[in-house]
Amino acid sequence: MTIDALVEQARAAQPSWAATSVRERTKIIEKFRALVFDERDAIAHTVTAETGKPFAESLVADISMTLDGARFLCRVAERTLAPERKRSRTMAAWRKSIAIHHDPFGVVGIVSPWNYPFFFPAMHSMTALITGNTVLLKPSEHTPLCAEHIGRLLARAGLPANVFTLVQGDGRVGAELVNANVDKIFFTGSERTGRSIAVACAPRFVPVSLELGGSDAAIVLEDANFDIATSGIVWGRFTNAGQTCVAVKRVIAVGAAHDALVSRIAASVSQLTVGPSDDANTDVGPLVTAEQATAMAAQLEDAIALGATVAARVDGAHSGGAWSPAVVLTNVTKAMRVWHEETFGPVLAVMRASSEADAVALANESHYGLSASVWSRDRRRARRIGAQLQVGAVVINDSVINAGLPEVAHGGVKASGMGRIHGTQGLLECVRTRTVIDDFLPNVRQPWWFGYDANTASNLDDYLRLAHGRTIVERLSGIPGALRMMLRRRGTL
């Protein structure tokens, strides 16, 4: 069946799905969460088999974050999606009731990545479904089996037919979905593909939510706890073999922090085990694709050719697969690709900053703006620095965690994309707002409608005195004209 036909099936199923209550949809997502928990071992093994990440990371990231996200959605969806009652103090609204409703877009297309092949598509799908949309999910062609788990468990949870449709295939299938008659597109992936999706959707005014690349900086101040910073940065860079959008990719060490930090990071990375995922002692597994390994090798070669120093390198013992060594680079300059491009693999670039202001400037020079971390014992100082960073999230004395908190809206600025996922903002990304303004005096005309006379402007001015006068006397002076205006009828006052 063609993509267009599948979209039309989803569109036909959407009205009845949207007509179900949020509470009923929540029950299905809750059942899905329970099934994911029951089958967590099998799902995590599928994640590990398709990506090569250690089994422990599959449990921590893809399984745990999916369970946390489902629980969050079930807890807040009904309250977040309920009509919002508003009050207005304007002249036009004194006799109005105002409500803002949240309506589903209709058919939502989701194109998801391979680095977190269960969590990302599951979280996007659950959010779109619980808000009343029908979903077409196109997972990465490199991790198709993880998405099969999602479709199977949603069906077992009681989701009606054609409300969720799994579409397997490569980038050409993703392009077909983007260009089909969908009402919104969610995409997580590369900047290049995200730009092409935005361009494709713009002529049709199809809204898009794009979570794209990042070159996240970790600013380490002289007063940081270097042992804690080292541990957090090394994990934040090399978890999932560095294939994480919010991974620490650039370390900016201020002044004397540089040497103290580099020696610790180099020693820590040297102790990492790079190897196959079926070894329980493996810290860093292979990359998902050979193309990514080639890209990492090219970035590493460029840095060394331009003068970078290899402070630590772990190749590991392995054969076959898409492997990249775990590497720490110092003497990094802004001319190097590892500094101004996204490094989606296990390579960490370190640069020295002369001052706090210099560190902020270096962090902000990137055309990405996904997230950043600041490491300091002085939390007030760290927050002050964080306020100057051009990113979607700042984490103090930790890393990566922002993308895994379901209560926190996740997304970036600049070339890191647009829109937000997770949190209540993520729910609201899946709905259109519809405002209903209801007049509770429907048989009484408004005093400012046509039928102007010599007193209209004077009475309106008196109303402005009453509503916005600077002093009590000025406000009281507007009462007579305001009353005349509010009681005005054609041919009377």
Provide the annotated active-site residues.
211, 245
Residue 271: phi and psi, rounded to 5, are: -90, -5
Residue 334, by phi and psi: left (phi above 0), alpha (psi -120 to 50) or beta?
alpha
- Please state, in angstroms and rounded to a whole number, the distance separating the CA atoms of residues 406 and 437: 33
What is the C-alpha to C-alpha distance for residues 493 and 488, in angstroms, rounded to an integer? 5
- Phi and psi at 311, nearest 5°, equal -85, -25
The burial class, CB within 10 Å (0-12 / 13-18 / 19+), for 190 is middle
Cβ–Cβ under 8 Å, residues 275 and 282: yes
What residues pair up with 162 in beta bridges, in sequence order?
none
DSSP codes of every residue in 442-491:
TTS--TTSS---TTHHHHHHHHHHHHH-SSHHHHHHTHHHHHHHHT--TT
Q: What is d(CA 52, CA 285) in angstroms, rounded to the nearest whole number? A: 6
Question: Nearest-CA neighbor of 302 among 340, 269, 267, 270?
Answer: 340
What whole-number distance in Å separates Cα of residue 370 and Cα of residue 275?
Answer: 29
User: Roughly what angle, to the nearest 10 degrees, separates helices 257-270 and 226-238?
Assistant: 50
Sheet holding 84-86, edge to edge: 84-86, 96-104, 431-439
Indicate the DSSP class of residue 411.
-
Answer whether 401's CB lies under 8 Å from 371's CB. Answer: no
Place of tokens 């890393």: 399
Is the CB of residue 368 less than 8 Å from the CB of residue 215? yes
